[in-house]
Structure 1
Amino acid sequence: MFVRLVAVLLTALTLAGCAVQRTVDSQVQSWSTLASLPQPPTYRLDLLPSQQQARAFGAIVPMAHAALARAGLQRDDAAPRLIAEIGVRTGTALADGPWYPYGPWGGWGGGFGWGHHSGMHAGWMLRDMPPTLYRNEVSVVLRDAATQKTVYETSASNEDVWTDAPRIFGVLFDAALAGFPTPPAGARQVRLPLVPTPTAH
Structure 2
Amino acid sequence: MYKALSALLFIVLLLTGCSGMRVVDSQVNSFAPKAVPAGSRYRFERLPSQENNPGAQEQLEAMAEQALAKVGLVRDDQGASLSVQVSVTERAEQSAMDHPALGWNLGWRVGNGGVWMGRGPLFPGLDVRTSYWREVGLVLRQRSTQTVVFESRASHDGPWADSEAVLPAMLDAALQGFPTPPTGVRRVNIEITR
Q: TM-score, normalised to structure 2's length?
A: 0.73
Residue 70 of structure 1 corresponds to 70
Work out whether 1:146 is the aligned partner of 2:144.
yes
Q: Which runs of 5+ in 1 are unaligned?
A: 102-122, 197-201
Residue 105 of structure 2 corresponds to none
Residue 124 of structure 1 corresponds to 113
Q: Which runs of 5+ in 2 are unaligned?
A: 100-111, 117-126
Distance 2:114 2:64 in 1: 35
Q: Is the 8 A contact 2:39 2:72 kept in 1?
A: no
Distance 1:125 1:79 in 2: 58
Q: Is the 8 A contact 2:38 2:72 kept in 1?
A: no
Q: CA deviation at 1:95?
A: 5.3
Alignment deviations for residues 19-73 of structure 1 (CA, whole Å, 9 cap, x no partner): x101110000011112x33365111111234434422333222110000111111
Inter-CA distance 57–39: structure 2 relative to 1 (3 Å threshold): closer
Q: CA deviation at 1:125?
A: 4.3
Residue 45 of structure 2 corresponds to 46
Identity %: 35
Q: Is the 8 A contact 2:136 2:153 kept in 1?
A: yes
Moved over 4 A (4+): 7-12
3-state secondary structure, aligned to 2:57? helix
Residue 17 of structure 1 corresponds to 18
Q: CA deviation at 1:150?
A: 1.2
Q: Is the 8 A contact 1:125 1:131 kept in 2?
A: no
Work out whether 1:189 is the aligned partner of 2:187.
yes
Q: CA RMSD in A?
A: 3.0
Q: How many residues align?
A: 167
Inter-CA distance 184–100: structure 2 relative to 1 (3 Å threshold): same
Q: CA deviation at 1:162?
A: 2.6
3-state secondary structure, aligned to 2:149? strand
Match of 2:82, as an amino acid? L
Inter-CA distance 17–40: structure 2 relative to 1 (3 Å threshold): closer
Distance 2:93 2:33 in 1: 35
Moved more, 44-53 or 79-88: 44-53
3-state secondary structure, aligned to 1:89? strand
Residue 163 of structure 1 corresponds to 161
Match of 2:142, as an amino acid? D
Larger radius of gyration: 2
Match of 2:162, as an amino acid? D
Distance 2:148 2:92 in 1: 31
Match of 1:172, as an amino acid? M
3-state secondary structure, aligned to 1:133? strand
Q: TM-score, normalised to structure 1's length?
A: 0.71
